[in-house]
Amino acid sequence: MEKTENADGSSGRSSSRNTSRNIGGAECAAQWKVRDVVERPQVRRSIQRVHAERTDWIPRVGIILDHRDARAFEPFDRFGFESLIAGKSVETLLAEFAVLRGESLETLRALKLGDAELALPGLHPDLGEVTLGNLLATWVVHDLGHIAQIVKTMAGEYRDAVGPWRAYTTILH
């Protein structure tokens, strides 16, 4: 076991054996590899300059605040991140993500959004009318989905090792 530092600066423990294998592995063929899940948000250099932050969360907040539903969001390119992560280590990407997420959260705090702003309409290119509150809630759930993918993949390393307890470990099903 090796000591690791979390994005928030707290320490934790992880198995380098399992972490290394899981980073490039896949939960199943149809799902993102852990490296893709981790790296995709990690390369966001700034709100203005990097793929997902530029085209998704904070920029879409700005579109709703500035244009309401008079201007649709740009469709999101789910694979546009690939060239941005090439050659970067997971450690580098996680460090960048910690900084960028902090900047995004500071931006949200500075906006001092209230109930009136959360109810403002926006226009999603596929879903139609959404609210600012819907967008922010989706951001949270989106991140939680990636965390779930990573955790499930990492737990899969122990599928055989848990033996008969597998019946009680729903994450392995």
pTM score of the predicted model: 0.67
pLDDT digits (tens, 9 = 90+) for 16-64: 344 444 444 444 444 455 555 544 443 332 222 345 655 688 989 999 9
- How far is residue 23's CA from residue 38's CA, in Å, rounded to a whole number? 8
Task: Using the predicted structure, report yes or no on whether residue 65 has a pLDDT greater than 90.
Answer: yes
- How far is residue 10's CA from residue 142's CA, in Å, rounded to a whole number? 23
Average pLDDT for 137-146:
87
Which superfamily does 2-172 belong to? Answer: dinb family like domain (1.20.120.450)
pLDDT digits (tens, 9 = 90+) for 109-132: 999 999 999 999 999 999 999 999
- How far is residue 17's CA from residue 6's CA, in Å, rounded to a whole number? 18
Sequence-distant (6+) residues with CB within 8 A of 57 are 104, 135, 139
Are 55 and 101 in contact, with CB atoms under 8 Å apart?
A: no
- How far is residue 67's CA from residue 120's CA, in Å, rounded to a whole number? 10
Sequence-distant (6+) residues with CB within 8 A of 92 are 42
